[in-house]
């Protein structure tokens, strides 16, 4: 049976190992074999990668996730201002 510290180490390794979760900012807490993941990711795909990493760790008795998906709101849209300018012509 793995200790909580071993489970935490393995969980963090699995998340960092997965290239699809490269920008994930996840904290791992383990109490009596129950893992809690908190933090944020930048996409739904990254969230699924973190979920998959969590499922690969053997010895976990339970899993709780409180992960926020922070989509990139900084995308620049050139088509909307251009379309508005064309409407005024």
**Spatial contact of 67 and 51, defined as CB atoms under 8 Å apart:** no
User: In this predicted model, what pLDDT tens digit does every residue of 16-30 receive, in sequence order?
Assistant: 999 998 788 999 999
CATH architecture of residue range(s) 4-88 = 2-Layer Sandwich (3.30)
Q: Where are the domains of the chain?
A: 4-88
Question: What are the Cα distances from residue 69, in Å, to 26, 50, 77?
Answer: 11, 12, 21
pLDDT band at 9 (very low <50, low <70, confident <90, very high): very high
pTM of the model: 0.74
Does residue 44 surpass a pLDDT of 80? yes
Beta bridge partners of 82: none
Helix spans in 1-78 (H):
4-17, 44-56
Q: Looking at residue 76, what is its pLDDT?
A: 52
Q: Looking at residue 70, what is its pLDDT?
A: 86
């Amino acid at each position: 049976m793995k200790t909580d510290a071993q489970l935490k180490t393995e969980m963090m390794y699995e998340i960092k190992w997965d290239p699809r979760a490269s920008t994930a900012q996840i904290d791992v807490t383990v109490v009596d074999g129950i893992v809690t993941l908190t933090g944020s990711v930048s996409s739904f795909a990254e969230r699924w990668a973190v979920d998959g990493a969590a499922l690969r760790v053997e010895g976990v008795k339970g899993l709780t996730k409180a992960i926020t998906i922070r989509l990139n709101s900084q995308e620049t849209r050139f088509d909307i201002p251009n379309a508005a300018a064309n409407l005024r012509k």
